[in-house]
C-alpha cells in the first residue's frame, strides 16, 4: 500500500493495516485498494507536516488532510470515505498498541450527498431483455469480449454460448439485484433450482440466499446446456464463463451491459449496478417492504436501502407532474 518514499514507521503501519483489511475484515480487493489509496494520501500529507510516525498523528493534522482534499475539489462522497478510512485506521493503531491516543475519534465525517441512482423503467427492462434474447437466437453475440481479442465464431447462431450467457446474466442481475462481483463469483452449485434461490457471498464474506423468478431460471437452464461448449481444463465450477473458458470477469459483464443498453432507445447508460438499483426500485414500487429488500440486497444498514424509497418517490412525483392537469 505504501509508496517507497514513506518513512519506515508509516510503511510498516500501512502494510500491516492492509494485511488486516484483507485477512481479518475480509474486505473485497476493490475496497482494500480504495482504503489503501486514501491512507497513502494521508501519509503523504502528514509527512509534509513533519509527522513521520502515525503514532504522532493529532486531530488537527487529520482535519488539515481533509481540508486539503476539499480544496482540491474532491466530492463529498470521497471526503466522507476518506474520513471513515482515517477513523478506522487510527482506531486500529490504538487497538494494536501502535499509538497511545486515537487521533481520529473526534473526527467528524463530512455529510455525504446521496444522489439518486439512475434506474430503468419496466418497459426499458423488457426491451433490454428482449433485445439480448434476440441476439442469442440469431444475431451476433459476444460483442462484450471483442476488446479482449478472443476468437469469435465466423457465423454466430442460436447456439452461440456467449450470447446465451449474456441473457442469463441480465435476467439474473435484474431478478436478484446482486452485485456484479457476487454474480461473477457464483458457482454452479450456488443455484438451487428446486427452490429457485441463489446462494451469494457478499461483502465481508456474508452469505445470503436470494430468490429469482421463472424467466431467470429458464435463462440459467438454457445457459447450462451450452456452457460445456466453453469449458476448458481450468474452468472449475464457475457458473458463468468467458469466451476463453475461465470464470467471467466483472469488466466483461460491465461492457456487455453497457453494450446491450445501447440497443434500447432512450435508455440511460447504466452498468450492472444500475440493474441492481432498478431491481430494488421495482421491488419497492411493487409493494415489497424495506426490510425484505435490505436482506435481498445484502445491505448492512437500512439507511442504504432507504435511498430507493426516495427513488420511488421521485418517480411518483415525476409521473404526477406529467399526468395531473393541476400539477
Catalytic residue selected from 20, 203, 222, 244:
203
Find out whether 157 and 147 touch, Cβ atoms under 8 Å.
no
Residues 6+ apart with CB under 8 A from 263: 128, 131
- Which residue positions in the chain have pLDDT lower than 70? 1-4, 109-117, 138-159, 302-327
**Which residue in the list 87, 276, 277, 282 is annotated as catalytic?**
276
- To the query of whether residue 326 is one of the catalytic residues in this protein, the response is no
The pLDDT of residue 194 is: 93
Q: What's the DSSP call for residue 101? A: S
Place of cell 487529520: 62
What was the pLDDT predicted at 301?
Answer: 72
Give the model's pLDDT for residue 327.
43
User: What integer pLDDT is reported at residue 306 of this predicted model?
Assistant: 65
d(CA 103, CA 65): 13
Rounded Cα gap, residues 121 and 119, in angstroms: 7
DSSP-derived letter for residue 98 is S
Active site residue 111: no
Q: Report the predicted TM-score, pTM, of the whole model to 2 decimal places.
A: 0.61
Going by C-alpha positions, the residue among 218, 231, 113, 144 that lies closest to residue 175 is 218
Check if 214 is active-site: no
Query: Cell 446482486 belongs to which residue?
Result: 178
At residue 2, the pLDDT reads 43
Catalytic residue (choose from 17, 35, 174, 308): 308
pLDDT at residue 202 in the model: 82
Per-position DSSP letters for 22-63, written without gaps between them: HHTS---HHHHHHHHHHHHHHHHHHHHTT--SGGG--HHHHH
Of 82, 87, 165, 179, which residue is the catalytic one? 179
Closest CA relative to residue 144, chosen from 272, 31, 279: 272
Residue 203 annotated as catalytic: yes
> Is 114 designated active site?
no
Contact, 153 vs 143, CB < 8 A?
Answer: no
User: Which is the catalytic residue, given 20, 25, 247, 273?
Assistant: 273
CA distance 219 to 222: 5
Identify the bridge partners of residue 210 per DSSP, sorted by sequence position: 198
What secondary structure letter does DSSP report for 157?
Answer: -
Is 17 labeled as catalytic in the residue annotation? Answer: no
Amino acid at each position: 500500500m505504501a509508496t517507497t518514499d514513506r518513512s519506515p514507521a508509516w510503511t510498516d503501519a500501512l502494510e500491516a493495516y492492509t494485511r488486516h483489511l484483507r485477512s481479518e475484515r475480509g474486505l473485497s480487493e476493490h475496497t482494500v485498494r480504495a482504503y489503501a489509496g486514501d491512507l497513502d494520501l494521508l501519509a503523504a500529507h502528514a509527512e509534509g507536516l513533519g509527522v513521520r510516525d502515525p503514532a504522532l498523528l493529532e486531530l488537527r493534522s487529520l482535519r488539515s488532510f481533509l481540508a486539503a482534499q476539499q480544496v482540491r475539489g474532491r466530492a463529498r462522497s470521497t471526503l466522507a470515505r476518506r474520513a471513515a478510512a482515517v477513523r478506522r485506521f487510527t482506531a486500529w493503531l490504538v487497538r494494536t498498541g501502535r499509538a497511545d491516543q486515537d487521533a481520529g475519534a473526534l473526527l467528524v465525517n463530512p455529510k455525504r450527498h446521496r444522489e439518486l441512482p439512475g434506474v430503468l423503467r419496466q418497459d426499458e427492462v423488457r426491451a433490454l431483455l428482449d433485445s439480448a434474447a434476440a441476439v442469442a437466437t440469431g444475431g451476433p453475440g459476444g460483442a462484450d469480449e471483442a476488446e479482449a481479442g478472443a476468437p469469435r465464431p465466423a457465423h454466430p447462431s442460436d447456439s452461440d454460448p456467449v450470447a446465451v450467457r449474456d441473457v442469463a446474466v441480465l435476467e439474473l442481475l435484474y431478478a436478484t439485484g446482486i452485485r456484479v462481483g457476487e454474480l461473477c463469483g457464483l458457482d454452479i452449485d450456488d443455484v438451487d433450482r428446486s427452490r429457485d434461490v441463489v446462494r451469494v457471498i457478499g461483502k465481508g464474506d456474508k452469505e445470503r440466499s436470494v430468490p429469482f423468478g421463472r424467466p431467470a431460471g429458464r435463462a440459467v437452464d438454457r445457459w447450462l446446456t451450452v456452457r460445456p461448449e466453453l469449458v476448458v481444463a481450468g474452468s472449475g465450477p464457475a457458473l458463468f464463463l468467458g469466451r476463453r473458458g475461465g470464470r467471467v470477469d466483472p469488466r466483461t459483464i460491465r461492457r456487455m451491459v453497457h453494450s446491450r443498453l445501447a440497443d434500447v432507445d432512450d435508455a440511460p447508460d447504466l452498468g450492472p449496478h444500475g440493474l441492481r438499483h432498478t431491481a430494488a426500485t421495482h421491488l419497492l414500487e411493487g409493494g415489497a417492504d424495506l426490510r425484505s429488500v435490505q436482506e435481498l440486497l445484502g445491505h448492512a444498514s437500512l439507511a442504504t436501502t432507504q435511498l430507493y424509497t426516495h427513488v420511488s418517490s421521485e418517480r411518483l412525483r415525476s409521473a404526477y407532474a406529467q399526468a395531473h392537469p393541476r400539477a
